[in-house]
Amino acid sequence: MARRSVDVPALVESARAGAPRAVARLISLVEDGHETLREVMAALAPHAGSAWVIGLTGSPGVGKSTTTTALVGAFRQRGLRVGVLAVDPSSPFSGGALLGDRIRMQDHALDPEVYIRSMASRGHLGGLSWTTPQAIRVLDAAGCDVVLVETVGVGQSEVEIAGLADTSVVLLAPGMGDGIQAAKAGILEIGDVFVVNKADRDGADATVRDLRHMISLGDRSEPGLWRPPVVKTIAAQKVGIDEVMEALDKHRASASGNGELARRRERRAADEIESIALAALRSRFGTLGGREGLSALAREVVDGTLDPYAAADRLVETLGS
């Protein structure tokens, strides 16, 4: 396999030894869909699996970065190594270079035990479910005890990412019509812990009440099942962060105990495998030639002599031959 001067074993070794530049380089390979990715993932796989993956999602303006920063501080006080992935769905670029990751969370800019990385979540087919788990694997294998994945909860895909974390935190703020927004975006279903940030603002208690009511309407009340708590915070002043940490710990214990953690990790891995497999199949479609090739079939559909389902059938059949 060609490597374009990437020495994968050396890079993986450096990353595991805690070299931030090696970690950054590996995540760049993930983002670029680099040809060495297969080798990278094979090298990382045996060393991954111990990090606690916490998803944070919420609308723009609810205070995701501030809350993430506060949580990083709390985990650092426990002496844990922390990775942060900020996934930006609206940017087709890697945010890494643009936002200046280290500037973004100045509190932890110089802490060698904290890796902070912004990533674009490309809109491409399978892009999301692929790059995020792989970047998590890099941080995990590099010895992060906790990986915080921050996503803007604007679309179904982002919500899905957050829902695949070991523990999902949904952030809201008072007076943003967030209750309805939450219901609309489907984030009610994925929240393990709800945080109402900016709790010093008018309407915080109403937001908490609305949320609790909506949660109670869900079918979560079976015995043994986790009931998502609602915690009030003022993250900018570190108010309520201890309570969030307590809720996170409780969720982790619950999810470990009732098998939910194993199920989610399995689903995350299944999504990743599936994305890789579909991308491989897709590239095969592209190279199929002749009458059963994708372009020939597409021309028939354009002409109206073939319908798209029949065309898809033929394409799939050709794969097997």
Residues 265-294 that bind a copy of itself (CB under 8 A): 265-267, 269-270, 272-274, 276-278, 280-282, 285, 294
**Which residues within the stretch 108-147 sit at the binding site for a copy of itself (CB under 8 A)?**
122-126, 129, 133-134
Burial 144-168 (b: 16+ CB within 10 A, else e): bbbbbbbbbbebebbbbbbbbbbbb
Rounded to a whole number of angstroms, the minimum distance from the CB of residue 258 to a copy of itself is 17
Rounded to a whole number of angstroms, the minimum distance from the CB of residue 38 to a copy of itself is 4
**Which residues within the stretch 217-276 sit at the binding site for a copy of itself (CB under 8 A)?**
262, 265-267, 269-270, 272-274, 276
Choices 9-17, 156-164, 215-223, 228-236; region in contact with a copy of itself by CB under 8 A: 156-164
| Token reading at 189 | 């279903």
Rounded to a whole number of angstroms, the minimum distance from the CB of residue 94 to a copy of itself is 12
**Which residues within the stretch 157-196 sit at the binding site for a copy of itself (CB under 8 A)?**
157-160, 184-186
Site string for a copy of itself, 80-99 (x = CB under 8 A): ---------xxxxx------
Beta bridge partners of 150: 56, 86
Rounded to a whole number of angstroms, the minimum distance from the CB of residue 81 to a copy of itself is 19
The burial of 56, by beta-carbon neighbours within 10 Å (0-12 exposed, 13-18 middle, 19 or more buried), is given as buried
Longest CA pairwise span in the chain (Å): 67
Rounded to a whole number of angstroms, the minimum distance from the CB of residue 111 to a copy of itself is 28
Residue in 5, 46, 106, 287 binding a copy of itself, rule: CB under 8 A: 46
Should residue 2 be labelled a site residue for a copy of itself when binding is judged by CB under 8 A?
no
Rounded to a whole number of angstroms, the minimum distance from the CB of residue 279 to a copy of itself is 8
Residue with Cβ nearer a copy of itself (108 or 268): 268
Rounded to a whole number of angstroms, the minimum distance from the CB of residue 122 to a copy of itself is 6
Residue with Cβ nearer a copy of itself (162 or 234): 162
